[in-house]
Amino acid sequence: MTNQVKSRLMDTSSAFSNIISTLLPKIQNFWRHSLVLLKKSSMAVISQVRVAFKTMQLASVFLLKKIDQSIDYMARHPLLDKTESAYRAFKKTIEQGFASVQQTPAYIKAGLYAQLVRLDKPIGILLLLWPTLIALWIAADGWPDPLVLFVFVMGVILMRSAGCAINDYADRHIDSKVARTRQRPLTSGKISEKEALLIFSSLSITAFILVLFMNELTIWMSLGGIILAVSYPFMKRYHYLPQVHLGAAFGWAAPMAYTAQANEVTAITWLIFLATILWATAYDTMYAMVDYDDDIKIGVKSTAILFGNQDKLIIGIIQLLLILNLLLIGHRAELSGFYYLGVTAASLFAVYQQYLIKDREPELCFKAFLNNNWFGMVLFIGVLLDYQFADVT
């Protein structure tokens, strides 16, 4: 039995050896021919690539030469000289015309009017705009009516501008004693008191005409806004809380906007109004800290003077009350994730403002005041995103 197994194994080994000896030359021959074929194919491809590259190179040289010749031809062509001369003449005419317009009394006066209403310093418009937009979005549970949105954006611009005009009129004798305001158009005598009052009246009437497109309740409320706007500039002569009065004047746009959109007054309406008063009191006190020394000399009253050495602490308390009020608004309006992210971001900006005013340096106090634009913007973005992605949050 063992011999049979050995015999079979030897037969199998012999057969396998025969197969290998037969196939190996064929495999070697196939591999040799394959290498030759691959080499020839590669050389053919390389040759074709070289031909194509050479053709492209020649075509590029020919094309560039023609372009260069065309440019030289156009550069020497009389028509180009005429075109260039005409362009230079036209440009010079425009520049001379613009320079002439800039020298006209009407242009100069328009520039002074723009300075009077602070169009060159839009921070006031933005500080008034953010709470107005927040009120509109909450009242509408999302995007407000386009007409209402247009009226109140324009109304913010018009009434802030009107407020600046009446403020400069009220402070015309005070501003001349403060270095920062001495060169304002009215104080410096570049425009008259009559002109300032005319601008205030024109802007206020235009804003009121826009309000006439709103519902009856909003029209009646606008009368309160006019009273607040006119009275605010004079309050610094009578009490130490003109910043609170400013907050009411600025904040009145919020309940008006809410009412225009929702046609009703609710608890949320007055919470937004209160939030705007708290916010304006905080940031305008920072602004008053800039003029603290001048106001003391002149005898003008402000919360910065009233709070004295406790100004930073009291501003911090007002900011804390503002954040709590914002949380209450979010709860009452049933807002969620994005809104509270906005409140969190605004809280961080409030902390940063406290850092800026810690040494009461006028420049940094003014920087803290300007930083409130970011405070209001992140709040509005939170409201906007919350309604935009309500289903997600």
Helix axes 362-388, 123-140, angle to 10 degrees: 20
Binning pLDDT at 50, 70 and 90, where does residue 159 land? very high
User: Do 286 and 365 meet the contact criterion of CB atoms below 8 Å apart?
Assistant: yes
User: Do 132 and 146 meet the contact criterion of CB atoms below 8 Å apart?
Assistant: no
**Does pLDDT of 387 surpass 80?**
yes
Provide CB contacts within 8 A for 156, sequence distance 6+: 125, 128, 129, 132, 253
pLDDT of residue 312: 94
pLDDT of residue 6: 63
pLDDT of residue 54: 76
Q: What angle do CA 72, 77, 80 make, to 5 degrees?
A: 100
Average pLDDT of the segment spanning 99-108: 80
Provide the strand spans (E) within the chain. Answer: none
179-191 confidence digits (pLDDT tens): 777 788 888 888 8
Binning pLDDT at 50, 70 and 90, where does residue 41 land? low
pLDDT of residue 149: 96
**126 to each of 133, 144, 146, 337, 384, how far by Cα in Å?**
10, 19, 19, 25, 16
**Does pLDDT of 85 surpass 80?**
no
Binning pLDDT at 50, 70 and 90, where does residue 128 land? very high
Output DSSP code: residue 264.
S
Average pLDDT of the segment spanning 265-291: 95
Average pLDDT along the chain: 86
| Torsion sign over Cα 133, 138, 139, 145 | positive
**Does pLDDT of 320 surpass 70?**
yes
Q: Minimum mean pLDDT among 60-64, 126-130, 140-144: which range?
A: 60-64
pLDDT of residue 185: 87
pLDDT of residue 372: 97
pLDDT of residue 15: 67
Nearest-CA neighbor of 273 among 322, 311, 306, 314? Answer: 322
Binning pLDDT at 50, 70 and 90, where does residue 229 land? confident
**Does pLDDT of 80 surpass 80?**
no
Locate the domains of the chain by residue range: 1-103, 128-388
pLDDT of residue 173: 81
**Does pLDDT of 73 surpass 90?**
no
More confident residue, 218 or 13: 218
**Cβ atoms within 10 A of the Cβ of 209, count?**
11
Average pLDDT of the segment spanning 173-183: 78
AA letter at 324: L
Output DSSP code: residue 369.
H
- The secondary element (H helix, E strand) that includes residue 269 is helix 267-290
Binning pLDDT at 50, 70 and 90, where does residue 339 land? very high
Average pLDDT of the segment spanning 26-46: 68
Average pLDDT of the segment spanning 48-56: 73
Helix axes 267-290, 311-332, angle to 10 degrees: 160
353-367 confidence digits (pLDDT tens): 999 999 999 999 999
**118 to each of 179, 219, 342, how far by Cα in Å?**
17, 26, 29
pLDDT of residue 9: 64
**Does pLDDT of 393 surpass 60?**
no
Average pLDDT of the segment spanning 81-91: 74
Average pLDDT of the segment spanning 62-79: 72
**Cβ atoms within 10 A of the Cβ of 65, count?**
10
pLDDT of residue 291: 85
* Overall fold of domain 128-388: Tetracycline Repressor; domain 2 (1.10.357)
Average pLDDT of the segment spanning 326-340: 94
**Cβ atoms within 10 A of the Cβ of 295, count?**
20
Structure tokens at 82: 């005429």
Binning pLDDT at 50, 70 and 90, where does residue 50 land? confident
pLDDT of residue 370: 96
pLDDT of residue 63: 80
Structure tokens at 188: 């410096």
